[in-house]
Structure 1
Amino acid sequence: MAAYLLGVVLFFLGIAVTIALHEWGHFITARIFGMKVRRFFIGFGPTVFAKRRGETVYGLKAIPVGGFCDIAGMTAQDELDPEDLPRAMYLKPWWQRIIVLSGGVIMNLIVGFLVLYGVAVSSGIPNPDVDTTATVDTVQCVPETQISATELSSCVGSGPAGDAGIEHGDKILAVNGQEMASFTAIRDAILELPGETATLTIEREGTLFDVDLQVASVTRLASDGSEITVGAVGMSSLPPTDVYKKYGPIEGVGATARFTGDMISATWDGLKAFPAKIPGVVASIFGAERDVESPMSVVGASRIGGEFVERSMWDMFMMMLASLNFFLALFNLVPLPPLDGGHIAVVIYEKIRDFFRKLRGKPAGGPADYTKLMPVTVAVAALLMTVGGLVIVADVVNPIRLFG
């Protein structure tokens, strides 16, 4: 229990540091371009601590699940002291504004990469070059019937695969000329061929050849308990080796970059699927089974972090923290206010608008009026808070359980 609680606390702190670094990305780029940062706070709600250093007030608020970097003149509607006007963000070149608005995203990508690099050189990351070709482990007889969910009838012999001469270590590339990407795909193909002859393309010690075997016709129990007739050949798969690989300091850079790209792609796919998973989250609050791939809040993520530490799975702990950084980066690029992507979209809109105004011989149109975006900003903020609240409730009453 102590290890679990330690993991929960550490992951929560990791989230807080991630948020702080995101805001620091905005802070440091704003300072580089001469903008004035008035406040730099971690968290929301009542102020716990605040101290002015130079021109910036630094502080911590009671709920450390967010943060903000208050840059003077972020919009033309901000109230400004006259002496701060020359340093107002909205008066800076468009490319500087985009860099500052992207600073948090860039920082999260850098942090995620560095975390993965640390894992790659210490314990290892998934090997992108691992051979996942379907490989035979054992061949055995095929029971004719299924008695219960956990029991099959007895059998003798070597089974269709063994009779056909298939051996341990054989790689199965195709079934009836159809390429197979995994052992699961082979199983599914064989299930559809009861009593038929199947041609398997085999690779053995670098030599390719075809093997014809008679698929056994057997009965198995469907999910509803009824008997169905399927095909079986009697062989098991050999798990791939070197699934995880530890890298040296130099080669680890390229391997980490490659794995980072894979994780960002997976995170993007998850972000696109996010809206469709919300109904399932709501249903789980009322007792429905919780999808292990459903969205998690700070509460749920910290709990999973605790489970990883409890089992000394520090590499998984760190990879989940990296994944969080990538999610935060991509989520903030969504082009809706009040997210960073929404502000970036406004800057791009201004640039495109002024381009066409110039073509018509007109002067630049000036800063965008953010008051017109206020209804969208309020609606998006309300939606994010509502969804966030629902996910937190689900993580409390029906949390995701990776280990039962």
Structure 2
Amino acid sequence: MEAVLTTLGIVIFVIGLLFSIAWHELGHLSTAKLFGIKVTQYMVGFGKTLWSTKRGDTEYGIKAIPMGGYIRMVGMIPPGDDGKLKQRSSSPWRAMIEDARQASFEDLEPGDEKRLFYTRRPWKRVIVMAAGPVMNLILAIGLFSVVLMGFGQFGPTTVVGVVSECAVPAAEAGQDCPDDAPPTPAAEVGLRPGDRIVSMDGRPIESWTDLQQAIRGLSGPTEMQVVRGGETLTLTPSLISNQVVELDEYGNPVEGSYVEAGFLGIVPTYDYVRLSPAAAAETMAGYVGMTFDALIELPSRIPGLWGAAFQGEERDLESPVGIVGASRIGGEILAQEIPVLDRALIMVNLLAAFNLSLFLFNMIPLLPMDGGHIAGALWESVRRWTARLFRRPDPGPFDVAKLMPVAYVVAIVFIAFSLLVLVADIVNPIRLVQ
């Protein structure tokens, strides 16, 4: 049964990934057609075409390798300065530029001269290229919103789960109380499991984060209100300074790092807590920050990936994963012996995180990513605005073909990295259950 559920989870997650890719390309397609640009292909996947149908000018289809997708717009790259698409050159770099320029016009037919991508104003091209990543962002926000506001975020609550008996440094937590250890302020004041803390030092408490920050910033006698059995009680614990686990900028514990701060001596209960729109927006902003940080750290993860793929080293749980690895994780989630709702919410969160990553990755201002075309259009707009300001001749469209050598280098690096991740996902995958 576990194998069946794992396989089903993989299939469901792959379908979700394919939908995310199709949704991304739909953003490009719809805005391109809105601005009258000719689109000859809308494809999900790469490689051999498994199915396709043609509607108007556009062929819609699914390809064999579900590793991405694309739309094909006519005239993505402008002609050369002489108006030609191809020039003879012995330089491999120049030939690369001219080949890309010629390929951009392969589907050009009589009457298409006014339907070329490069002839559209820069702001329209920015919209077309940004529409794909923005669609992923919209999907991520929608999925996260459903989970956070509809079902809640699983985490610590303001309800007391355990009252610690004695105050010991965080590094020694979990051990028996030493004979000379003082009782915790929570134990001294008679705080009980099940008590819900609603205010601390006159400050309303709505979340565990609020409570944690309040406690860490206080010391000495502090008035607090708790709800016990439907009745509101006022307690006055005398908070002490103690060694506690350090928190990062997102409120997550930093393993092995400690700081001195105010201490009460409680462990919260964990449950799903529905967030308000403002709290959900703040949480999603944190997700964006963490995903951005993860992208910045990608180069530093390469040695660890190489070791995990080829040297038998342990795979870091924060290691990058590809579509294969993410699908495997989706399969493991569905096979877990946890409530069905928990499994479904984890799957939705994982898919939302994938879409958020797609958004940020595609906005990198380098070709062949969408952000590279956006940067080119913005630069063209700056050049033309500057020319008008100083009454100079219009410099014309920015020739992105000149950046094709850089695009090929970036593409080769990305393909190599993707292959490394693929090998690591196959031979040494990240597993939820060790």
Q: When the two structures are superposed, what TM-score results if normalisation uses the length of structure 2?
A: 0.72
Aligned residue among 324, 332, 335 for 1:307 = 332
Q: In the aligned structure 2, how far is the partner of 1:125 from the partner of 1:160? A: 32
Q: Is the 1:39–1:70 Cα contact (8 Å) retained in structure 2?
A: yes
Q: In the aligned structure 1, how far is the partner of 2:242 from the partner of 2:148? A: 46
Letter in 1 for 2:188: G
Match for residue 284 of structure 2?
260
Match for residue 126 of structure 2?
98
Quote the offset at 1:201 in angstroms.
5.8
Match for residue 343 of structure 1?
373
Letter in 2 for 1:302: S
Q: Is the 1:75–1:367 Cα contact (8 Å) retained in structure 2?
A: no
Whether 1:237 and 2:239 are equivalent positions in the alignment is no
Quote the offset at 1:384 in angstroms.
0.4
Letter in 2 for 1:307: E
Whether 1:288 and 2:313 are equivalent positions in the alignment is yes
Q: Is the 2:186–2:265 Cα contact (8 Å) retained in structure 1?
A: no
Tell me: CA distance 1:345–1:155, structure 2 relative to 1, closer, same or farther (3 Å). closer
Q: Which runs of 5+ in 1 are unaligned?
A: 175-179, 188-198, 216-230
Quote the offset at 1:259 in angstroms.
3.6
Q: Is the 1:124–1:245 Cα contact (8 Å) retained in structure 2?
A: yes
Whether 1:402 and 2:432 are equivalent positions in the alignment is yes
Whether 1:138 and 2:166 are equivalent positions in the alignment is no
* Aligned-pair Cα RMSD in Å: 3.9
Q: In the aligned structure 1, how far is the partner of 2:147 from the partner of 2:161? A: 31
1:21-65 deviation per Cα after TM superposition (whole angstroms, max 9, x unaligned):
100110011111111111111111122223221111112211011
Q: Which runs of 5+ in 2 are unaligned?
A: 79-100, 202-208, 226-233, 244-259
Quote the offset at 1:260 in angstroms.
3.0
SS of equivalent residue, structure 2 residue 72: strand
Letter in 2 for 1:359: L
1:84-117 deviation per Cα after TM superposition (whole angstroms, max 9, x unaligned):
1101111111111111001101111111122223
SS of equivalent residue, structure 1 residue 40: strand
Quote the offset at 1:211 in angstroms.
5.3
SS of equivalent residue, structure 1 residue 59: strand
Quote the offset at 1:263 in angstroms.
2.1
Letter in 2 for 1:352: V
Q: State how 1:39-188 maps to structure 2 within 5 Å.
A: 39-76=41-78, 77=101, 78-79=104-105, 80-120=108-148, 122-125=150-153, 131=158, 137-140=162-165, 159-161=182-184, 165=188, 167-168=190-191
Letter in 1 for 2:331: G
1:249-305 deviation per Cα after TM superposition (whole angstroms, max 9, x unaligned):
xx6x65654443332222222222222222211121212221111110111111111
Tell me: CA distance 1:324–1:201, structure 2 relative to 1, closer, same or farther (3 Å). farther
Q: Which segment is superposed worse, 80-89 or 337-346?
A: 80-89
Whether 1:278 and 2:302 are equivalent positions in the alignment is yes
Match for residue 255 of structure 2?
none
Tell me: CA distance 1:136–1:309, structure 2 relative to 1, closer, same or farther (3 Å). closer
Q: Is the 2:188–2:237 Cα contact (8 Å) retained in structure 1?
A: no
Q: In the aligned structure 2, how far is the partner of 1:60 from the partner of 1:120? A: 33
Q: In the aligned structure 2, how far is the partner of 1:213 from the partner of 1:258? A: 29
Report the identity percentage: 35
Q: Which segment is superposed worse, 319-328 or 353-362?
A: 353-362
Letter in 2 for 1:306: G
Tell me: CA distance 1:212–1:51, structure 2 relative to 1, closer, same or farther (3 Å). closer
Quote the offset at 1:151 in angstroms.
10
Q: Is the 1:43–1:67 Cα contact (8 Å) retained in structure 2?
A: yes
Q: Is the 1:164–1:213 Cα contact (8 Å) retained in structure 2?
A: no
Letter in 1 for 2:69: G
Aligned residue among 397, 401, 410 for 1:380 = 410
Quote the offset at 1:173 in angstroms.
8.7
Tell me: CA distance 1:302–1:200, structure 2 relative to 1, closer, same or farther (3 Å). farther
Q: In the aligned structure 2, how far is the partner of 1:159 from the partner of 1:210? A: 12
Q: Is the 2:185–2:237 Cα contact (8 Å) retained in structure 1?
A: no
Tell me: CA distance 1:200–1:302, structure 2 relative to 1, closer, same or farther (3 Å). farther
Q: Is the 1:113–1:256 Cα contact (8 Å) retained in structure 2?
A: no
Q: In the aligned structure 1, how far is the partner of 2:393 from the partner of 2:58? A: 35
**May I ask how many residue pairs the two structures share in their alignment?**
363
Tell me: CA distance 1:159–1:139, structure 2 relative to 1, closer, same or farther (3 Å). farther
Match for residue 5 of structure 1?
7
Q: Is the 1:139–1:158 Cα contact (8 Å) retained in structure 2?
A: no
1:308-359 deviation per Cα after TM superposition (whole angstroms, max 9, x unaligned):
1112311011011011111101110000000000000000111111222223
Q: In the aligned structure 2, how far is the partner of 1:297 from the partner of 1:345? A: 26
Quote the offset at 1:131 in angstroms.
4.7
Q: State how 1:150-229 maps to structure 2 within 5 Å.
A: 159-161=182-184, 165=188, 167-168=190-191, 202-205=222-225, 210=238
Q: In the aligned structure 2, how far is the partner of 1:137 from the partner of 1:150? A: 13
Aligned residue among 388, 391, 400 for 2:421 = 391
Quote the offset at 1:307 in angstroms.
1.5
Quote the offset at 1:370 in angstroms.
2.7
Q: In the aligned structure 2, how far is the partner of 1:53 from the partner of 1:116? A: 34
Q: Which segment is superposed worse, 68-77 or 152-161?
A: 152-161
Tell me: CA distance 1:55–1:212, structure 2 relative to 1, closer, same or farther (3 Å). closer
Q: When the two structures are superposed, what TM-score results if normalisation uses the length of structure 1?
A: 0.77
Letter in 2 for 1:32: L
Tell me: CA distance 1:214–1:32, structure 2 relative to 1, closer, same or farther (3 Å). closer
